[in-house]
Amino acid sequence: MYKALLKPLLFQLDAEQAHHFVFDNLRRGYRLPGTPALLRSLYDFEHPGLEREVFGLKFRNPVGLAAGFDKNAELTDELAALGFGFVEIGTVTPRAQPGNPTPRLFRLPQDEALINRMGFNNEGAEAAARRLRQRRSGIIIGGNIGKNKDTPNEQAAADYVAGFEALFDTVDYFVVNVSSPNTPNLRQLQEKEPLIRLLQQVQEVNQAKPRPKPLLLKIAPDLTDGQLDDILTIAAETKLSGLVATNTTIARDALHTPATQLTSIGAGGLSGRPLRQRATEVIRYLHRRTEGSLPIIGVGGIASAADALEKLQAGAALVQLYTGFIYEGPALVKRINQALVAGSQK
């Protein structure tokens, strides 16, 4: 129904307008009597074989929603009813900020991809925390945190600590995002020395808590093997619980979308099918280098059950959807989970 009826209508709208349209109507519809049960009957799939325990948390299934979709923690209950095993909110910054000027989200249908330069548009960490305190579902929530655009890199750690503190009581794990290409100079924080300092400061606050939360790092797909080795050294030194691999890419290789259209779109992070192979390569490399000792959440180009299985076979403990969810619709989550159960029973 989604691909035949709803998707063609949504794709007539500007990409960001379509996003808000879906949000508004899912929120309204969910309040109607019987809708939560209907959504679960259509899209949820439960099976004991799907359960996973990763970095001390028990996930009812390994398919999550990546950060960037529900930035402000507005639809966590609704997304739980669509069958996700976990939802990562954000990227959340300490203070609210509007993000980059519009238009800033673009579809590349020929490549089943998106380009975005949203720029961490969000209502701030306190607003997200307030919403999470009101949620009813017990779905696992990740808090993806970043720095405000006007915060210099030298003061970035204070922003990450502030976001961490604001969300601590309302999320189950944290992801430090220094890999978005859409905040000026943010990726410079991926360099070894500044990243160690940043993560150490966040981890010091975390470890001082009575019950510390799992702390992960989200990395770019554009890193070299040497840089990935640095990331693993940093992860060990700062005692990270895991990695999220990968964020969007700044590369534009081998796309079917005409170069003139790409030029007119301009800068931004590319997600979707073109990212699938590189994201899997990064996951496989990290998994082999750590001999599976560091959990990885695999994300990038998952548009089918086969794509999800590829990430898991490469070494991911969990997977996340974003662009594939836009192009394939909510039934993708159920198809992946059904395929995982079917594969385990062979």
Query: Is 182 marked as binding a ligand?
Result: yes
**Residue 91 annotated as binding?**
yes
Q: Report whether 120 belongs to an annotated binding site.
A: yes
Asked whether 83 and 329 are in contact (CB, 8 A), the reply is: no
Would you say 71 is a known binding-site residue? yes
Does the annotation flag 69 for ligand binding? yes
Is 246 annotated to bind a ligand? Reply is yes
Do the annotations mark residue 280 as ligand-binding? no
The verdict on whether 41 is a catalytic residue reads: no
- Exactly one of 41, 137, 179, 180 is catalytic; which is it? 180
* Among the listed residues 215, 241, 243, the one whose alpha carbon sits nearest the alpha carbon of residue 229: 243
Establish whether 68 is an annotated binding residue. yes
Q: Is 119 annotated as a binding residue?
A: yes
266 is in an annotated binding site: no
Q: Please enumerate, by residue number, every residue annotated as part of a binding site for substrate.
A: 71, 116-120, 177, 182, 247-248
Residues at the annotated binding site for FMN? Answer: 67-71, 91, 144, 177, 218, 246, 272, 301, 322-323
Q: Annotated active-site positions, please?
A: 180
User: Residues at the annotated binding site?
Assistant: 67-71, 91, 116-120, 144, 177, 182, 218, 246-248, 272, 301, 322-323
